[in-house]
Copies of this chain bind each other. A is one copy, B any other.
Amino acid sequence: MKELEFIRYISKKFKAGKPVVKGIGDDCAILDYTKTRYMLLTCDMIIEGTHFSGKATPFQIGWKAVAVNISDIAAMGGIPRYILVSAGIPRNKGAKFLKEIIKGIETISRRFNILLIGGDTNVSRETVINVTLIGEVEKKCVITRDGARRGDLIFVTGCLGEGRVKHLNFLPRLKEARILAKDFKLNSMIDLSDGLAMDLNRLTEAAKVGARVYKSLIPLSDASEPLDKAILAGEDFELLFTAPIGESKKLIKRMGRREDLPITLIGEIVDRRFGVQLIQEEGKIKPLKPKGFAHL
């Protein structure tokens, strides 16, 4: 079962109730919280062999386990607050390994002002860490993945295709997300965990729209994989977002004025019937299928 199918299957079984503003299907669940704020909840499990190799240091494992969740909170425009951590550690790894994982968790948590409030440790055959992150967001600032509209421009933060190099040490785009959420009126946002091809399709599917992305506009760096791979490669943890034309102009202006918002315009939202298209340098149109980094 592909993850998209799985989410559809499970969404049908568990309908959202009253205080559940949004259940399964976005980067975070949204609960009604205070008069002015929503609570955001997200969980991610990272597993040896799937999300990191045996060469990853325990510090990196701890760091990454929290970072991928912060990225989900960022994608909703929110602020991370509390984590619960479950760990499965092979018996032969010993206490020092676990302490180093905790140090990684502690370091990134301190940096982002997150409190660890619960945990569970177990013996397992392979190292596995699950982090559940609880955050919050001002109701007027929340950004979901399903709000894209025809005519929106599409942006990404940073450069794509760097996941392979930085996935164990990346800094989630929280600062940028908060600027975007507070100073602009975006229509939609998602974090790039499974590659542009996959995640842009998730965004357009959620809003029932199409998209046109220009190959020549996609930002790469020296650390990036070649473009054809970069759009399929997972674990960039950059933010992909859309804004109406007026806000987009404000975004582009702000981009030029200050360096704290490294974003790039890569395309536009179009009618659903066009699907998701990648426009080649010579103008040829290619469909951009939801392929890429599927976990299951």
List residues of chain A with CB under 8 Å of any chain B CB. Answer: 1, 3, 6-7, 9-10, 13-14, 16-17, 20, 23-24, 28-29, 31, 41-47, 49-51, 82, 84-89, 95, 98-99, 102, 106, 109, 115-126, 128, 130, 132, 134, 295-296
Beyond A29-B84, A86-B130, A89-B296, 20 additional pairs, beta carbon < 8 A: A1-B95, A10-B119, A14-B106, A16-B117, A24-B116, A24-B119, A29-B117, A42-B84, A43-B86, A43-B132, A45-B86, A45-B122, A47-B123, A47-B124, A47-B128, A49-B124, A50-B123, A88-B128, A124-B128, A125-B126
The one of B41, B46, B82 in contact with A20, judged by C-beta atoms closer than 8 angstroms, is B82
Q: In the complex the two chains form, what is the Cα distance from A49 to B86 in whole Å? A: 17
Known: A29-B82, A125-B125. A119 touches B43 (CB 8 A): yes
Task: Determine the chain B residues whose CB is within 8 A of the CB of A95 once the complex forms.
Answer: 1
Contact B116 A23 (CB under 8 A): yes
Task: Determine the chain B residues whose CB is within 8 A of the CB of A118 once the complex forms.
Answer: 23-24, 28-29, 41-43
Known: A84-B41, A88-B128. A3 touches B121 (CB 8 A): yes
Task: Determine the chain B residues whose CB is within 8 A of the CB of A49 once the complex forms.
Answer: 124-125
Contact A116 B295 (CB under 8 A): no
Q: In the complex the two chains form, what is the Cα distance from A95 to B8 in whole Å? A: 14
Contact A82 B31 (CB under 8 A): yes
Task: Determine the chain B residues whose CB is within 8 A of the CB of A43 once the complex forms.
Answer: 84-86, 118-120, 130, 132
Residue of B nearest to A85 (CB): B43
The one of B28, B45, B87, B120 in contact with A88, judged by C-beta atoms closer than 8 angstroms, is B45
Interface of A is mostly: strand
Q: In the complex the two chains form, what is the Cα distance from A50 to B86 in whole Å? A: 14
Contact B295 A14 (CB under 8 A): no
Residue of B nearest to A45 (CB): B86
Task: Determine the chain B residues whose CB is within 8 A of the CB of A87 once the complex forms.
Answer: 45
The one of B109, B123, B296 in contact with A295, judged by C-beta atoms closer than 8 angstroms, is B123
Q: In the complex the two chains form, what is the Cα distance from A50 to B49 in whole Å? A: 20
Contact B41 A117 (CB under 8 A): yes
Contact B122 A82 (CB under 8 A): no
Contact A6 B98 (CB under 8 A): yes
Contact A86 B44 (CB under 8 A): yes
CB distance from A58 to the nearest CB of B (A): 13
CB distance from A68 to the nearest CB of B (A): 9
Which 8 residue pairs of A and B lie closest in terms of their CB atoms, listed nearest first?
Answer: A45-B86, A29-B117, A130-B130, A132-B132, A1-B95, A14-B116, A43-B84, A29-B118
Q: In the complex the two chains form, what is the Cα distance from A98 to B296 in whole Å? A: 11
